[in-house]
């Protein structure tokens, strides 16, 4: 992958601790301003529609937050623009008369230029050269014109850094109802008032797609514990945490508990049994005990039938040939 000019930019990218890896779910900001979510899979090709496609392997081990240009399905880093002084001008936009005649290039001619492989910057340059009223625009209007054309013709994108602010902002703009109208500033106030810090042990109820869970896990920094209370036996789905791309030591600090297990009369809706791949349920009779809350359950497997009943003992039974059944 080409990184362009500037050795300092290259070294900072390589020395960054947070890099893109296979399996990460990325937020890609397109020139149009839209954000596309995409999961990186090795040896695959990412398709961004009219903005082009590229080889996924080009992003592996690269830092977040950079902007890339797509050139023949390969990526080239676009260096950030430096601040420039705005020249004084007497233009006021008052003499501009917009119409079809001010831009001699037709849509067919522009499409022909794109198919010929001409770079987006060259197409924009040709449009500026032939624009009848471009010289009458103010510097601010000229910059707006360039950005509007870049959003239309350039084949580039930026990888949004997976910070809590960016991910929360993305989900809020995508579907604020699923996020329970929690903005990034609201979330920061919640975490501050709860005094979330590394090494703490916290109990949380999250009905906002996991944005609160994501905020707590980020502040724990892999040191502490988080228990979420939910209404299902299996671990709940927190889609917001997917875009955070937490490392294993962060995600391992999260566990969940069904609130109904506090009731001694609670019976799980389904107890799944995981058998070693060397075991078979066709001819073997298995029996084991498991605990949910303060209640023990006895599991019997005979052939293809499974029987679950309340047990009096918590002792786990070992079967012949050292075969065991484990409840999930």
Place of tokens 């449009």: 127
| C-alpha count within 13 angstroms, C-beta hemisphere, residue 62 | 24
Task: Please count the structural domains in the chain.
Answer: 3
Same domain, 194 and 213: yes
Same domain, 127 and 197: no
Of the chain, the percentage scoring pLDDT greater than 70 comes to 62
Residues 121-144 pLDDT 10s? 777 777 776 666 666 677 777 777
Place of tokens 């990325």: 26
Which of 262, 287, 317 is at the close of a domain? 262
- Per-residue burial over 184-198, b = 16 or more CB atoms within 10 Å of its CB, e = otherwise: beebeeebeeeebee
3 falls in which pLDDT band (50, 70, 90)? low
Asked, for residue 253, whether it belongs to a domain, the answer is yes
Which of 321, 273, 320, 278 minimizes the C-alpha distance to 301? 273
Of the chain, the percentage scoring pLDDT greater than 90 comes to 40
Total H helices, total E strands in the chain: 9, 15
Same domain, 256 and 188: yes
User: Averaged over 100-108, what is the pLDDT?
Assistant: 65
pLDDT score, position 165: 95
Same domain, 192 and 238: yes
If one compares 111 and 5, the residue with the highest pLDDT of the two is 111
Same domain, 199 and 240: yes
Q: Is pLDDT at 315 greater than 70 in this prediction? A: no
Among 123-127, 150-154, 256-260, 314-318, name the most confident range: 256-260
pLDDT score, position 289: 43
The CATH number of whichever domain residue 204 belongs to comes to: 3.40.50.150
Same domain, 254 and 201: yes
Which of 272, 218, 275 minimizes the C-alpha distance to 249? 218
User: Averaged over 261-287, what is the pLDDT?
Assistant: 50
pLDDT score, position 78: 87
Which of 237, 262, 287 is at the close of a domain? 262
Asked, for residue 60, whether it belongs to a domain, the answer is no
Cα 255 to Cα 195, 203, 262, 300, 313, distances in angstroms = 20, 10, 16, 28, 26
3-class secondary structure, 65: coil
User: Averaged over 141-164, what is the pLDDT?
Assistant: 82
Asked, for residue 250, whether it belongs to a domain, the answer is yes
Residues 215-268 pLDDT 10s? 999 999 999 999 999 888 778 889 999 999 999 899 999 998 888 877 777 766
Q: Is pLDDT at 273 greater than 50 in this prediction? A: no
Among 129-143, 267-281, 295-309, name the most confident range: 129-143
- Domain around 127: 100-152
Residue 299 · residue 306 · CB < 8 Å: yes
Asked, for residue 195, whether it belongs to a domain, the answer is yes
pLDDT score, position 280: 38
Same domain, 186 and 141: no
Same domain, 289 and 225: no
Which of 134, 152, 170 is at the close of a domain? 152
**pTM score > 0.75 for this model?**
no
The pair of three-digit structure tokens given for residue 293, joined into one six-digit string: 């809350």
Which of 312, 282, 283 minimizes the C-alpha distance to 297? 312
152 falls in which pLDDT band (50, 70, 90)? confident
Same domain, 256 and 219: yes
pLDDT score, position 161: 92
């Amino acid at each position: 992958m080409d990184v362009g000019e500037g050795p300092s930019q290259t070294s900072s990218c390589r020395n960054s601790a947070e890099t893109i890896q296979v399996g990460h779910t990325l937020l890609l900001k397109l020139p149009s301003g839209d954000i596309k979510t995409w999961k990186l899979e090795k040896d695959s090709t990412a398709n961004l529609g009219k903005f082009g496609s590229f080889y996924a392997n080009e992003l592996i081990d690269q830092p977040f937050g950079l902007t890339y240009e797509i050139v023949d399905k390969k990526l080239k880093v676009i260096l950030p623009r430096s601040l420039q002084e705005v020249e004084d001008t007497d233009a006021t936009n008052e003499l501009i008369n917009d119409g079809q005649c001010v831009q001699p290039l037709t849509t067919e001619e522009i499409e022909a230029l794109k198919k010929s492989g001409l770079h987006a910057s060259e197409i924009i340059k040709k449009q500026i050269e032939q624009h009848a009223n471009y010289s009458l625009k103010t510097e601010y209007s000229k910059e707006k014109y360039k950005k509007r054309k870049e959003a239309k013709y350039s084949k580039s994108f930026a990888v949004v850094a997976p910070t809590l602010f960016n991910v929360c902002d993305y989900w809020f703009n995508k579907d604020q109802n699923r996020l329970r109208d929690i903005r990034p500033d609201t979330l920061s106030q919640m975490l501050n008032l709860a005094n979330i810090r590394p090494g703490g042990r916290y109990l949380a109820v999250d009905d906002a797609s996991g944005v609160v869970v994501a905020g707590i896990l980020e502040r724990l920094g892999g040191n502490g514990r988080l228990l979420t209370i939910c209404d299902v036996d299996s671990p709940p789905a927190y889609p917001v945490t997917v875009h955070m791309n937490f490392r294993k030591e962060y995600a391992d600090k999260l566990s969940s508990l069904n609130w109904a297990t506090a009731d001694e009369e609670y019976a799980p809706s389904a107890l799944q049994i995981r058998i070693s791949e060397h075991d078979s349920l066709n001819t073997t009779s298995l029996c084991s005990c498991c605990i949910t809350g303060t209640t023990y359950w006895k599991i019997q497997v005979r052939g293809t039938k499974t029987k679950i009943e309340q047990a009096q003992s918590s002792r786990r039974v070992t079967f012949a040939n050292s075969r065991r059944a484990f409840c999930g």
